[in-house]
């Protein structure tokens, strides 16, 4: 039974997850990089603690207390990669975290990754289709492997994230000459991310990796046009010349498949269509 959870990284996703777990009477510990921010977590019934994986002195001075805090039933690792700015720093932070938890064996260890591990090809992609196709994907896969070897670990790969303060209407509004008009949209709402990780924490997980992406994939042109209008913004304009079009009229390109999550855990998306997410962003 899972009675305590530590979430490393209580940001846009981690904090709502922590709040949701706390409401279920789970003892939740959440990390922030600053002491003041960690203290504020108590307002959400979360026990906050400082964890700055870039601060060597902090890691040395507070090693004993950090190791104790991280000795819980379940650990959720939710550290933003930030790979475009510092590709190597992400792996260094994860290595330091692994040192802190080296003596712990968790009942469940959830590592939050992304569908950026999949190449941009015209295919429906499942969990086994990840491959190194860029520097960023290489680092993401290396990060996953660091935790995949831990007992009772599970990798969760989120598609593009939307929700409060992340309305997709702002992503492309006003832009012109865009490519990929008929490309498939792969998004997931914050609420479904929380529900999916909660299921992974408390349910038996037959597999080691799960995609989390809404099962309906509208065309990029149609979706972002509607998303911009939803905010009263100027819709983006796409270059329709030389666009690949499926004979059925369906979206083309990379489609992230979440059947494993739905079939093995009986998971149901609250928002199975990205268009329906707009009203909840």
**What pTM does this model have?**
0.95
Average pLDDT over residues 76-84: 88
What is d(CA 38, CA 28) in angstroms, rounded to the nearest whole number? 13
88 is a domain residue: yes
Residue 87 has pLDDT above 90, yes or no: no
Write down the pLDDT at residue 139. Answer: 93
Write down the pLDDT at residue 88. Answer: 83
Residue 247 has pLDDT above 60, yes or no: no
Write down the pLDDT at residue 243. Answer: 60
37 is a domain residue: yes
Which of 62-71, 99-108, 196-205, 250-259 has the weakest average pLDDT? 250-259
200 is a domain residue: yes
224 is a domain residue: no
Write down the pLDDT at residue 246. Answer: 53
Confidence class for position 86, pLDDT limits 50, 70, 90: confident
- pLDDT tens, residue by residue, 226-241: 999 999 999 999 988 6
Write down the pLDDT at residue 85. Answer: 75
What is d(CA 120, CA 180) in angstroms, rounded to the nearest whole number? 11
Q: What number of residues does the chain have?
A: 281
Neighbouring C-alpha atoms within 13 Å toward the C-beta of 81: 23
Domain count, the chain: 1
Write down the pLDDT at residue 249. Answer: 64
Which of 28-32, 195-199, 202-206, 250-254 has the weakest average pLDDT? 250-254
Residue 84 has pLDDT above 80, yes or no: no
Percentage of residues in the chain with pLDDT exceeding 90?
90
Write down the pLDDT at residue 34. Answer: 95
Neighbouring C-alpha atoms within 13 Å toward the C-beta of 254: 17
Write down the pLDDT at residue 242. Answer: 56
What is d(CA 86, CA 84) in angstroms, rounded to the nearest whole number? 6
Contacts of 21 (CB under 8 A, 6+ apart): 5, 28, 198, 201
Confidence class for position 261, pLDDT limits 50, 70, 90: very high
Residue 83 has pLDDT above 90, yes or no: no
- pLDDT tens, residue by residue, 152-168: 999 999 999 999 999 99
Confidence class for position 248, pLDDT limits 50, 70, 90: low
Confidence class for position 258, pLDDT limits 50, 70, 90: very high
93 is a domain residue: yes
Nearest to 110 by CA among 196, 223, 226: 196
What is d(CA 242, CA 264) in angstroms, rounded to the nearest whole number? 40
Domain extent at residue 273: 4-165+187-217+255-280
Residue 264 has pLDDT above 90, yes or no: yes
99 is a domain residue: yes
What is d(CA 154, CA 41) in angstroms, rounded to the nearest whole number? 26
Write down the pLDDT at residue 251. Answer: 82
121 is a domain residue: yes
Q: What is the CATH number of the domain that holds 20?
A: 3.40.50.720
230 is a domain residue: no
Residue 141 has pLDDT above 60, yes or no: yes
């Amino acid at each position: 039974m899972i009675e305590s959870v530590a979430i490393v990284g209580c940001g846009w996703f981690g904090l709502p997850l922590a709040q949701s777990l706390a409401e279920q009477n789970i003892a939740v510990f959440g990390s922030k990089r600053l002491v003041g921010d960690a203290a504020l977590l108590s307002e959400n019934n979360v026990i906050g603690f400082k964890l700055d994986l870039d601060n060597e002195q902090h890691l040395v001075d507070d090693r004993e207390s950090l190791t104790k805090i991280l000795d819980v039933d379940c650990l959720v690792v939710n550290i933003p990669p930030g790979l475009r700015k510092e590709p190597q720093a992400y792996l260094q932070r994860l290595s330091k975290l692994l040192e802190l938890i080296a003596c712990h064996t968790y009942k469940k260890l959830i590592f939050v990754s992304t569908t950026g591990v999949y190449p941009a090809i015209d295919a429906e992609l499942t969990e086994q289709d990840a491959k190194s196709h860029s520097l960023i994907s290489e680092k993401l896969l290396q990060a996953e492997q660091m935790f995949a070897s831990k007992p009772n670990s599970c990798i969760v790969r989120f598609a593009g994230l939307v929700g409060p303060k992340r309305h997709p209407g702002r992503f492309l509004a006003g832009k012109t000459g865009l490519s990929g008009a008929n490309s498939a949209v792969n998004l997931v709402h914050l609420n479904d991310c929380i529900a999916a990780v909660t299921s992974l924490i408390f349910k038996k997980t037959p597999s080691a990796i799960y995609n989390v992406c809404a099962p309906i994939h509208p065309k990029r042109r149609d979706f972002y046009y509607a998303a911009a209008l939803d905010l009263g913004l100027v819709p983006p304009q796409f270059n329709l010349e030389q666009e690949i079009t499926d004979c059925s009229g369906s979206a083309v390109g990379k489609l992230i498949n979440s059947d494993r999550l739905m079939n093995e855990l009986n998971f149901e998306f609250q928002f199975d269509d990205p268009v329906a997410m707009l009203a909840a962003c």
